[in-house]
Amino acid sequence: MKRALRIVIAVTVLLVALQPVMAQNFMIKQKSHTDETKMMGQTEPATDVIQTLWFTKDAIATVDEGATVITDLKNKKIIAIDHTEKTYTEMPMDFGMGEGDEEEAGGMAAMMRGLMKSEVSVEPTGEKRKVGKWNCKGYKFTLKTVMGPLTQIMYATKDTDMDADAYRQHMTAAMVMFPGLKDKMKEVTKEMKKIKGVVVRTEVEMKVMGSSMKSYTEVLEIKKGKAPAGTFKIPAGYKEQSGFGM
């Protein structure tokens, strides 16, 4: 369960916090907090971690003290690596819930199937806020699904030297890989154009099957640079686990 929740939260946040990596390598350091979560009879305690995100043209690696989650945009798959247990899990970005896949895979798979029917909306909140050294404006992002809404409050800034247009294009391209958004490129593009600047704080609330998942992520540092060797590779000797490793 811990691995599954980590993957869901990491990917969900990435979909609205991706930075412009069209042709350059970037590093982002951020702090991430997740409230205590109860789901399917299990409880995960609240967590606070410092994460380092490494971006290339084709992939993002989210690294914290005990795990790495690699989002492979080129091959459209996710690799979750557990450095404590020395194991890893691979799965397609649509979580195996693509067309023609009728196999039942438990509660988490059912949640992913629920995301297959989705609507996206973005609206300015009118709020102005200082996040770190950046002056920001607030936006409400809503992903409506048959399983329940996912709401995110985002704070975007123009106080960076990043290309905001490239940022938005890359963010949109990654979002439409997600289940339920594959055929909604125009709709997603239209909504994401409402965000002016680069997102440096994201507050997430996701309600699924009667449970609430809350978290926030705040950027601490952004700079250009290449990831250390091996960041995007599965370490030698690690064993593969099937599914979400619940």
pLDDT by residue (tens digit) across 157-175? 988 776 666 666 656 655 6
Q: Where are the domains positioned within the chain?
A: 2-236
| pLDDT surpasses 80 at 222 | yes
| pLDDT surpasses 60 at 125 | yes
Decide which of 161 and 13 is more confident: 161
CATH of region 2-236, choose from 1.10.1200, 2.50.20, 1.10.3470, 1.10.1330: 2.50.20
pLDDT by residue (tens digit) across 51-93? 998 888 788 898 988 899 998 878 888 899 999 999 999 988 6
Alpha carbons 78 and 69: distance in angstroms, whole number: 7
Beta bridge pairs of residue 157? 136, 198
Alpha carbons 9 and 4: distance in angstroms, whole number: 9
pTM above 0.85, yes or no: no
Average pLDDT, the chain: 77
